[in-house]
Amino acid sequence: MKEPIVRVENVSHRYNVQWAIRDINMEMPDSGIYGLLGSNGAGKSTLMNILCGVLRQTEGNIFIKGMNTKKNSVAAKRLIGFLPQKPPLHMDLTVEEYLYHCAGIRLMPDEEIPEAVENAMTECGILHFRNRLIRNLSGGYQQRVGIAQAIVHSPELVVFDEPTNGLDPNQILDIRNLIKKIAENRTVILSTHMLMEVQAICDYIFMVEEGHMVFSGSIDEFDNYIIPNTVFVSLLDAPAPEVLLEIPGVTKVEELGGTKFRLMAVDVNDVIDQMVAYSYKNAWRLNEIRVEKSSLNAIFAELSKKTK
Ligand SMILES: Nc1ncnc2c1ncn2[C@@H]1O[C@H](COP(=O)(O)OP(=O)(O)OP(=O)(O)O)[C@@H](O)[C@H]1O
Q: Determine the pLDDT at residue 213.
A: 92
Q: Classify residue 217 as exposed, middle or buried by CB count within 10 Å of its CB (0-12, 13-18, 19+).
A: middle
pLDDT given at position 297: 60
Per-residue pLDDT tens for 197-249?
888 899 999 999 889 998 899 887 876 666 667 899 999 999 999 999 999 99
Query: Partners of 238 in the beta sheet?
Result: none
Ligand 1 centre distance from Cα of residue 41 (Å): 5
Gap from CA of 162 to ligand 1 centroid (Å): 13
Distance 237 CA to ligand 1 centre (A): 57
- 93 with 101: CB under 8 angstroms? yes
What ipTM was estimated for this complex? 0.96
Judge if the beta carbon of residue 40 lies within 6 A of ligand 1.
yes
Confidence of residue 292 (pLDDT cuts 50, 70, 90): confident
CATH architecture of 230-292: 2-Layer Sandwich (3.30)
pLDDT for the residue numbered 300: 64
CATH number given to 6-224:
3.40.50.300
Strand partners, 191: 36, 161
Helices (H), the chain: 44-51, 73-78, 95-105, 113-123, 139-151, 169-182, 195-201, 219-225, 241-245, 268-282, 296-306
CA of 40 to the centre of ligand 1 (A): 8
pLDDT band at 306 (very low <50, low <70, confident <90, very high): low
The strands making up 187-192's β-sheet, listed across from edge to edge, are 80-83, 157-161, 187-192, 32-37, 204-209, 212-218
Return residue ranges of the chain for CATH 3.40.50.300.
6-224
Instruction: Kindly report the protein residue whose alpha carbon is nearest to atom 1 of ligand 1.
Output: 15
The answer to whether the CB of 15 is under 6 A from ligand 1 is yes
d(CA 123, CA 139): 18
pLDDT averaged over every residue in the chain: 90
- Location of each CATH 3.30.70 domain in the chain: 230-292
190 contacts 35 by C-beta, under 8 angstroms: yes
Residue nearest to atom 7 of ligand 1 (CA): 15
